[in-house]
Structure 1
């Protein structure tokens, strides 16, 4: 099992200057190696019989690849002696980052999804370097020993768990200082332990995640989102407005940039902390947690443009949708459902089950009849007598769907309209 613990470093002035110099040198070499790959790709990406006769034919050379660029580090240290100050593992990790960024652009990841074209790193855009190997006993009291950086004081707010070995260290520069992330490994604990829990009415809970109520549980609990970004939006706008009146590159401009970055960091940390606390409460409440299998990126897409017969663009509601998209980003629904909640559940031996979200907001949780509602309708009223908030109705229905209730819809013969669904369990 792998864990990642992050601690704040308290380096001396000399150590800070050395790490900043490392980042700058690594950034320059990263850009050079990436440019070398782009140069070869532009000259050799098409076959010789497909090239136009008017183009200049480049001299054939070996394609830049991971191991070839790693071997070039020997010549780099000989030509530029100041690169000898950087640890070998840190330099090799930089080459690996170049290979990973370019490979995802050309071939895609394991699922075939390609990333965008890698960008060259500008100043302050390269903020991390990694040691692929560190001593298992690198923590000595309140100091951590990193190769060539010697002992650095750090805040050990939690100890390394028994049985885990330190395998890797990543040093990151953030807006409020330096941090180290330690990768811990315990081979005796499986990465994905099998959790065999049979969902029942008593040991399960359904959770509907939204914007009005971040979590509406089937047991009646309703949790409103704190809206960390919305609370700081006015302060953030004032800082950004002040920055626009400063000369770009000046000391005042850089200081305001730093204040804006620290405010963004505070917002993100508050949101993440609240997500972990809420996930802990849900895990303590039930052994099986049913949630919707949402793809939040689809919910936050831009509206399609509308045109009349003459080709003139018409209002498409994107102005209102932009505020909704900002609320989606502020809530952090995707990170909570896909990362934090499954992580907390796995650590506690609980089970998170994703169910099909189709129909969970358009049916009654009591009689299972269809009750059409618009997005603006926030209250559920049914002919069977059920009356409750819309999100609470969805939470109850999510639990029923997770326990086996199916919502089926059949079309009328010869008609494209949908008939009221027949719900079977």
Structure 2
């Protein structure tokens, strides 16, 4: 099992300057390698039997792939000796980052989805370098040893679980300082198979009036961290606009803006984690809508959708449900051997259909009460949560579990809102 822990770094003034220097050199190398790939791509992207509008004879050279660019690093250290001060594997990781970025542009990810054209990074936008391998015992007490950099102080706000091994380490510069992200692995942790209690299930409806409403009628208020901080952000942004471009005072004001945005993001993330913990402590199975968050974030409700952070919340919910029974979390934090499960269902009709009789009851967004001819009178979001729960009845996981019930726990066919599983 792999997981990541992030800690705050406390480098000395000299070390902070050295981190910035490394980032500056790595940024230049990243842009150079990306430009090398684009140069070859622009001259050789036409097939043999086709001719571009602007004809020219391309330079006859091999495609700069991962291995050919990696072989040039020793020569780089000869022509630019200051790159010899950077750990070799950190430089090699830059080549890998360029490869991954360019492959997503040309070929797409494992799902075939292509990303946009890679952009050259300015110094302010290049903030992270990574050690792909770390030695055993590199972290002692609150000090970590980074190869060819030195020993840096770390604020260990939580201990690393027993049996976990540090695989990689990344140093990131943020608005309020430097952070260390450790990738941890424990090969002794087995894969968790769903072993849930089918009666302990809930459906959740995400909204903008309330953050979520469960099928039991419980409501979690929406905090609106960004909207509450807009007054403060407006003041800081006005300071930036009054400062002269390129001046140190403008940079200080921009840093204040970045810190305020990070504060909002941290509050939102903390709220998401606490909400997820409360759900997983209470239920074995959580059903939610398979929302197109990216599309909703481009609508007229974009600010509210971004402020709610639905995508981040659902990602945390899915990840924590998969990891909570692996021993990563302290004993008693979740129910022992929980085997929790998160299911995404089609959101079509969840707000319009009646959860009692199934009849479609059309209503516009401003109507917050669901009233049906069958006598069902519920809050709109509560009715939607019940519909979401109903849609989970035919999920393949429940069917597979019922087939295994004879060899494991015998499950009586429960009824979810009148629909047998």
The 5-angstrom pairing of residues 53-132 of structure 1 reads 55-132=55-132
Contact 2:195 2:340 in 1 (8 A): no
**Corresponding residue for residue 185 of structure 2:** 185
What is the aligned partner in structure 2 of residue 401 from structure 1?
Answer: 391
SS of the residue 1:50 aligns to: coil
What is the aligned partner in structure 2 of residue 342 from structure 1? 318
Shift of the alpha carbon at 1:264?
0.8
Residues 371-409 of structure 1, C-alpha deviations (whole Å, 9 max, x = no match): 11111211111223322210011112222222349xxxx
Q: How many angstroms apart in 1 are the aligned matches of 2:151 and 2:360?
A: 65
Deviation, 1:109, is 0.9
Contact 1:171 1:181 in 2 (8 A): yes
Answer whether contact 1:9 1:179 (CA < 8 A) is retained.
yes
Deviates more, 1:43-52 or 1:133-142: 43-52
- Matched with 1:332 is 309
CA distance in structure 1 between the partners assigned to 2:156 and 2:226 by the alignment: 29
Q: Deviations over 1:224-282 (max 9, x none)?
A: 11001111112112222221121111111101110010011011111011000000001
Contact 1:199 1:403 in 2 (8 A): no
Q: Is residue 197 of structure 1 aligned with residue 173 of structure 2?
A: no
Moved runs in structure 1, 4+ residues, more than 6 A? none
Corresponding position of 2:288 = 291
TM-superposed deviation, 1:18 = 1.0
> What is the aligned counterpart of 1:390 among 374, 377, 380?
380
Kindly state the Cα deviation for residue 368 of structure 1 after the two structures are TM-superposed.
2.5
Between the aligned partners of 1:54 and 1:395, the Cα distance in structure 2 is: 58
> Does 2:373 match 1:376?
no
- Cα gap change, 1:424/1:131 in structure 2, threshold over 3 Å: closer, same or farther? closer
Q: Is the 8 A contact 2:43 2:59 kept in 1?
A: no
Q: Which residue of 1 aligns with 2:403?
A: none
Q: Note if 1:260 corresponds to 2:257.
A: yes
Corresponding residue for 2:356? 366
Of 272, 288, 292 in structure 2, the residue corresponding to residue 275 of structure 1 is 272
Change (3 A) 1:195 1:247: same
Partners of 1:90 and 1:195 in 2: how far apart?
39
Q: 1:42 to 1:269 in 2, by over 3 A?
A: same
- TM-score (normalizing by structure 1): 0.87
Q: Distance between the aligned counterparts of 1:216 and 1:143, measured in 2?
A: 44
CA distance in 1, matches of 2:292, 2:48: 43
Query: SS where residue 210 of structure 2 aligns?
Result: coil
Closer, same or farther: CA 38–382 of 1 in aligned 2, 3 Å: same
Q: Provide the TM-score with structure 2 as the length reference.
A: 0.88
| DSSP 3-state at the match of 1:129 | strand
Give the 3 Å change call, closer, same or farther, for CA 54–255 of structure 1 in structure 2.
closer
Q: 1:80 to 1:357 in 2, by over 3 A?
A: same
Q: Which moved more, 1:20-29 or 1:52-61?
A: 52-61
Distance (whole Å) between structure 2 residues aligned to residue 300 and residue 151 of structure 1 = 43
Q: 1:232 to 1:52 in 2, by over 3 A?
A: closer
Q: Distance in 2 between matches of 1:63 and 1:398?
A: 51
Contact 1:129 1:172 in 2 (8 A): yes
